[in-house]
Amino acid sequence: MALIVSLETSTKVCSVAVHKDGNLLSEYEFRVEKSHSKLITQAITFLMDGLGLKMSDLDAVAVSKGPGSYTGLRIGVSTAKGLCYALDKPLIAVDTLEAMARKVNKFNFNNALVCPMIDARRLEVYCALYNSKNETIVPVAAVILNESSFSEFMETGEVIFLGDGSAKFVPLVARADKAFFLQNENPSAEYVGIIAEEKFAAKQFEDVAYFEPFYLKDFISTGSIQN
């Protein structure tokens, strides 16, 4: 059981959350482009002060590890590692897409498959497929979408597509009767923190010195969305 601050910076939407024993105490989210590095530390301080907590009270720091924006992930991970060094606390890394799926599965009463998608330029997305038990059906990959994408899964059941990359798939999907879209569902520090509590209990910590974000692909500079 732990007090954990969680950081989510993988997309244009940035969030910070504080959990105690897996229960959300407070969360702060902002959607201001090119502001992650400027606002994330302020958000952490704002939440901790508002809860009457000191940074030294933390038991661990969690971060969304990717995939996602190269610059956004770098900001989140460097901030998390800085806190861990300064406070001598363990670092917990959480898969971004897994956290997105966990959020949807809380309300997935029809046992549909869940496919989080993060925009990766043009018709490409970072995605994975999970069942309603949060088990991985298709591992994280960079996928170029077309009419046949995920069609084999929609032949046998419903699939929920979510995230900022899912809008690309709307005009392409072949089985629209089996596809459901939640385009405004973004990665959230709240669900990073929920998974982080489980990892804390299992002592699944990262090496602070050597941990790197899960970029999935090599960085190509095209004018990043956060700086």
Domains of the chain: 3-95+187-201 (3.30.420.40), 97-182 (3.30.420.40)
Token pair 């940074």 is found at: 55
Cα–Cα distance, 202 to 109 (Å, whole number): 28
Cβ-contact 163, 118 below 8 angstroms: yes
Cα–Cα distance, 209 to 198 (Å, whole number): 22
Cβ-contact 160, 148 below 8 angstroms: no
Pick from 65, 80, 64, 11: which is nearest to 226 by CA? 11
Cα–Cα distance, 211 to 192 (Å, whole number): 17
User: Could you tell me where the beta strands, DSSP code E, fall in 120-222?
Assistant: 124-130, 136-144, 159-162, 179-182
Question: Who's near 85: CB < 8 A, 6+ residues apart?
Answer: 208
Q: What is the pLDDT of residue 35?
A: 62
Pick from 30, 72, 35: which is nearest to 47 by CA? 30
Pick from 103, 66, 98, 67: which is nearest to 182 by CA? 103
Q: Which residues of 91-110 are buried (b: 16+ CB within 10 A; e: fewer)?
A: bbbbbbbbbbbbbbbeebee
Cβ-contact 160, 108 below 8 angstroms: yes
Cβ-contact 100, 91 below 8 angstroms: no
Q: What is the pLDDT of residue 45?
A: 95
Q: What is the pLDDT of residue 198?
A: 97
Q: What is the pLDDT of residue 121?
A: 84
Please, what are the averages of pLDDT over each run of 10 residues along the chain (227 residues)?
Answer: 94 95 95 73 95 98 96 94 98 98 94 96 94 96 95 95 95 93 92 98 97 77 32
Pick from 180, 141, 182: which is nearest to 163 by CA? 182
The CA distances from residue 118 to 88, 96, 99, 157, 204, in Å, are 32, 9, 12, 22, 25
Neighbours of 53 (CB within 10 A): 17
